[in-house]
Structure 1
Amino acid sequence: MKHAETVTFGGSSLDRAGELRGDKETVAAAKADDAARAILFWRGKVLIDPARPASLVRLPLDHPALDDASGTPILLGREDGAARFAYDLSQWMPDDVDPRQLGQFLDPSEQRHPMLPQDYVFVELRRCMTWLDPRDAELAATGKAILAWHEIHGFCARCGFETVINDAGWQRNCPACRASHFPRTDPVVIMLITHGNSVLMGRSPGWPAGMYSLLAGFVEPGETLEAAVRREVFEESGVRVGEVSYLASQPWPFPASLMFGCAGVATSKEITIDPKEIEDAVWMTREEMLDVFAGQHSTILPARKGAIAHFLLENWLADTLD
């Protein structure tokens, strides 16, 4: 396995059991197996045991907490030959929930289900993604992303009729026009743009104070990754990019992107930002970035741990990009 695959949400080699999804009898048998386990989600949050090391909670499928689940369980894959299913408890409402905290960029609140040990908590995945081992992180990311897809794809995009879930949660079919719909993943390029000893950093409006990251943007229809890198960097910062190469990828379930980490060599250095795209952009030397990662920079914070931007910058500083 390449070092690039050790990025958060990658590298666990989960057996996704894709060959089982279309066989309803086999899926039913997998659910009936005593070794099958449920992974629980509540409004995009995942149920974990935060004890160090933190771990994803796996419950037997006859656990009473699953009585609060709604919708069809999603087959995520197999571990040691036994199936793992995602269950959505979003219709359950905790007594002490503060709606003002839900949906924040980094929601710090935790929710506890009365039928579960009090140590078990629903936690925002952005907050806990670096606590989990690669397998737990991949299962959590997969479940969060596909449940988010189901939440907003209940009706056919072709005719508007209500769709039904098929293939163990990996397909929605329209009974009216017979259209089939599959989980969506949005390609995004995120760019390590360098000019000599410096790297290009930017920040979006609304980010926490001091937070900077690599520039990023969605790939458009009919566009290569290389073209998307050059277009996005120029649109956001006015910097021209020449040579582009691929570095690493990361599933990013917020809500459902695949981040393509790319390196690009700038052919110009003058920055002219588009305020509709970003709030600021700066060139930072390796020495300045080392201070950022050490927490010693006066104004700039490092990219969030767990995000591919942090991974790329950390390996750029260590000269370990492959």
Structure 2
Amino acid sequence: MRTAEQVTFGGSGLNRAAQIRGDAAALAQAMADPAARCLPMWRGKPLLRGDGLDALGLIPMDHPVLAAGLGKAIRAPVFLGLEEDGAPRFAHDLSRWEPEELDYGALGSFVDRSEQRHPDLPEDMAFAELRRVMTALSPRDAELAATAKAIIGWHATHRFCARCGVETVIGHAGWQRDCPDCGGHHFPRTDPVVIMLITHGDAVLMGRSPGWPEGMYSLLAGFVEPGETLEAAVRREVMEEAGVPVGAVSYLASQPWPFPASLMFGCAGEALAREITIDPVEIEDAIWVSRADMMTAFAGEHPTIKPARRGAIAHFLLQNWLADTLN
């Protein structure tokens, strides 16, 4: 797919400079660089700035807020990479900070519109849900935010050694955790997920999960199992969720999806039949949607169907299917 890397969180080309991670002198030099900047994260939310919160709220490495509110799993900034001009970029977890007023219900909602403003940061900066702003960010800001969210989220859930249970320590500038007891090394986890554009004639197979906004449908998706190819995962997931057999499968594009730690593999598949038998444990509903109806849904004019969330690879694939630009 020629436009594959135009998907949200893709195509920025960030220089991750992995050679710096294990070099203590180079890392110290990067942290002391006057051009270095840090992205604070609060419970998975990046710091954003501006009236529309459409840019990352990067702050200097010596900003006092970085020393005042460290996360439980991380005691030092995570090195993200270098900009084109060599300026280092880091991320830091401030999840220990407790806002004076906090709506816990909003934090767990499908669309979290709550904002948290730290008293020691400029008034035009706020922590906000990444899915809410992801389409407004530049490709570089989106990649930095996705990387920071995924790596800090991994630290929060992998504090202890999976081999012996002892609390691990951070190494390689945040890209490794080491066990001081058994010597085990642990690395950031990414879960492969297939998401499928399954078509039959001029119709595409769509499904919805419980709890989604009324009328919202998206492409079927599921985790790849151990010992399974992407193609096999596509056929298994579609059969399990919708009871539809799939023939030829091809790869289209991928998207990092840090909610919490997935890599979405967008695939196309040809259905061998249209009859649907859903598994109610897996999904709430599945339907075939014609190209004409999907175009109406994308225009916001369909009476019952709302398209997949903008910024998600499902929306990207459907948009290219409608435009006949999948190849």
Question: Structure 1 CA distance, aligned partners of 2:58 and 2:265?
Answer: 31
Match of 1:55 in 2: 55
- 1:1-322 correspondence to structure 2 within 5 Å: 2-51=2-51, 54-70=54-70, 71-79=75-83, 80-322=85-327
8 Å contact kept, 1:69–1:87: no
The 1-side partners of 2:68 and 2:104 are apart by 20
Secondary structure of residue in 1 paired with 2:77: strand
Counterpart-to-counterpart distance in 1, 2:281 and 2:27: 48
* Post-superposition CA distance 1:136-171 (Å, at most 9, x none): 000000000000000010000010011000000000
Matches of 1:120 and 1:106 in 2, distance apart? 20
8 Å Cα contact 2:53-2:133 kept in structure 1: no
Q: Determine helix, strand or coil for the equivalent of 1:72.
A: coil
Deviation by residue 1:271-310 (Cα, 9 ceiling, x = unmatched): 0000000000000100000010011111111110000000
**TM-score (structure 2 length as normaliser):** 0.97
Amino acid at match of 1:220: E
Larger mean Cα displacement after TM superposition, 253-262 or 205-214:
205-214
The Cα shift of 1:102 comes to 1.5
Which secondary structure does the structure 2 equivalent of 1:105 belong to? coil
The DSSP-based 3-state class of the residue aligned with 2:106 is coil
Give, as a single letter, the amino acid of the residue that structure 1 aligns with 2:286: A
With normalisation by structure 1, the TM-score equals: 0.98
Give the C-alpha shift of residue 207 in structure 1: 1.1
Unaligned runs of 5+ in 2: none
1:5-35 deviations in Å (ceiling 9; x for gaps):
0000000000001111011121011101111
Structure 2 CA distance for aligned equivalents of residues 88 and 69 of structure 1:
8
Q: Is the 8 A contact 2:209 2:285 kept in 1?
A: yes
Residues 177 and 185 in structure 2, CA contact (< 8 A), matched pair in contact too: yes
How far the C-alpha of 1:105 sits from its partner, in A, is 2.1
**Matches of 2:42 and 2:21, distance apart in 1:** 24
Shift of 1:116: 1.3
8 Å CA contact 1:195, 1:267 repeated in 2: yes
Q: Give the whole-Å Cα distance in 2 for the aligned partners of 1:194 and 1:242.
A: 11
Deviates more, 1:311-320 or 1:98-107: 98-107
Following superposition, the deviation at residue 50 of structure 1 comes to 3.5
The separation in 1 between residues aligned to 2:255 and 2:161, in whole angstroms, is 29
CA RMSD of aligned residues (A): 1.1
Q: Which amino acid aligns with 1:21?
A: R
| Alpha-carbon separation, structure 1, partners of 2:207 and 2:118 | 40
Aligned-partner Cα distance in 1 for 2:33–2:298: 47
SS of 1:263's equivalent in the other structure is strand
Kindly state the Cα deviation for residue 53 of structure 1 after the two structures are TM-superposed.
7.9
Given that 2:53 and 2:126 are in contact with CA atoms closer than 8 Å, whether structure 1 keeps it comes out as no
**Pairwise CA distance, 1:51:** 3.1
Question: For 1:146 and 1:105, how far apart are their aligned partners in 2?
Answer: 22
Offset at residue 213 of structure 1 (A): 0.1
